Amino acid sequence: MFRYFQIAARNLWQHRLRTSLVGLAVALVTAVFVLLTGISNGTQNTMITASTTLLTGHINVAGFYKVTPGQGAPVVTEAKKVRAIIEKEVPEVESIVERGRGWARLVSDSSSLQVGLAGIDIETEKGFDGVLQIESGDLSKMKETDAVLLFQKQAEKLGYKENGKKVPVKVGDRLTISAPTPRGTNNTLDVTVVAIAKDMGLMSQFSIFMNNTGLRRLYQMNDDTTGALQIQVKHFNPNDRTGLTALRERIGKVLQQHNYTLLDNNKPVPFWMKFQDITRESWTGQRIDLTLWSDEASFLENFAKIISVLFGMVIFTLVVIVSIGIFAVMWVAVRERTREIGTLRAIGMQRFSVMTMFQVEGVILGVIGALAGAVMGLAIAGLLNAAHIKIAEGMQLFLFSDHLILLPTANLVAWGVGIITVVIGLASIVPSVIASLKKPVEAMSHSG
């Protein structure tokens, strides 16, 4: 086999201009593969990390409490007891945080916004400060009961006129939150802006964060009631939907054993899309609703799938084009070396050996080109990450980031090099077979 590599390498060197051009094409396709898979993986990783830190846990223990059949609130009563049961009987749980939930009107001196409320206990949150980029203020002050965190565009929309110009709300300004309570009455709470974060796509369009104790006061709830228990599991793998679903079902059985009733209408959708179905049902009291991160952030998952499909189509098209190019180049090489093939056959080289010789040329070309392209793609990805390239505002809605993030992994790069090498090897088969089928006498007399 070593002899075949020697012959193939010598032939590639003798036609180094053609080899360089084809190798460059292979390298460019591999680099594009690395960059596109890096963008796709970076996008998914950013969305999953942000959503499972800010919006949802890996698994959520939420629910609805109905005072009357037609009136319900998205809360979990006896939250401390439920949390203790899960922590004791489910060893896969890494941490649990309480998140308040609500929908209210946020009012400034000159404007107002309808916003979703997320109540947090900043001292128990993990990774929160690593996801949010604080533009001004102090995130640690979220431990104050009347604290609220806004995003930049929200601060601008709630802005007021100063010296004839509209200026955004700033840290230290007072706002008012008005919301209907589970008892059917309206209540208000005066809050202080303690931090303003950079915009994060859809998150900054409809949600604000406030102190959990303040949220309970707004909705007149006791300290043992919360919106959801967000569970972070050990060794989380977002692609292992089956394992996560099985764990959710086991948590459900554990809670049922302790006489908690699960919600029958357990659709894989965010909690706020279940209100209409809930109010039509005749039950009252507490029902527990168990959801996965992908249920609460289903719109993000769908967007990630669309990106993967689009990038996959682009990569497939490029690989097909390069395969056709390799086929054409190898075909030309066979025609140019017809007399050489005839001589080799005349001195005893078997057809299989001739075919192997040309096949090895294609594989060598594919391996070298793909490896060079992988290195090129990784280098470009590093430069693009360092440049913090701003992305279009429409894309920011889904990416939870204002700049492009590429995350090419070793597995993806290895897969890319392997796939492209195999495809190029397959593209070399037909020309190699044609070369092996040439008769020595006819090949030696070839003049073209």
Percent of the chain with pLDDT over 70: 87
153 φψ region: left (φ > 0), alpha (ψ -120 to 50), beta (else): alpha
Q: What are the backbone dihedrals phi and psi of residue 153, each rounded to the nearest 5 degrees, phi first?
A: -65, -35
The two structure tokens encoding residue 183: 């008892």
Looking at residue 32, its pLDDT comes to 87
Tokens 């009107």 belong to 105
The two structure tokens encoding residue 8: 């193939």
Q: Which residues, including other chains, have CB under 8 Å from residue 181's CB and lie 6 or more apart?
A: 187, 218, 219, 220
Largest separation between any pair of C-alpha atoms in the chain: 100
The two structure tokens encoding residue 288: 């527990």
Least confident residue range of 160-164, 220-224, 300-304, 410-414: 300-304
Nearest in space to 5 (alpha carbons), one of 357, 337, 343, 427: 357
Q: What is the DSSP letter of 262?
A: B
Least confident residue range of 19-23, 56-60, 397-401: 397-401
What CA–CA distance (Å, rounded) separates 415 from 234? 27
Q: For the residues 198-215, what does the mean pLDDT come to?
A: 86
Other Cβ atoms within 10 Å of 68 Cβ, number:
9
Helix H or strand E encompassing 93 = strand 93-107
Global pTM reads 0.76
User: Per-residue pLDDT tens for 109-155?
Assistant: 888 999 999 999 998 888 888 888 899 999 999 999 999 999 998 99
The two structure tokens encoding residue 414: 């290895």
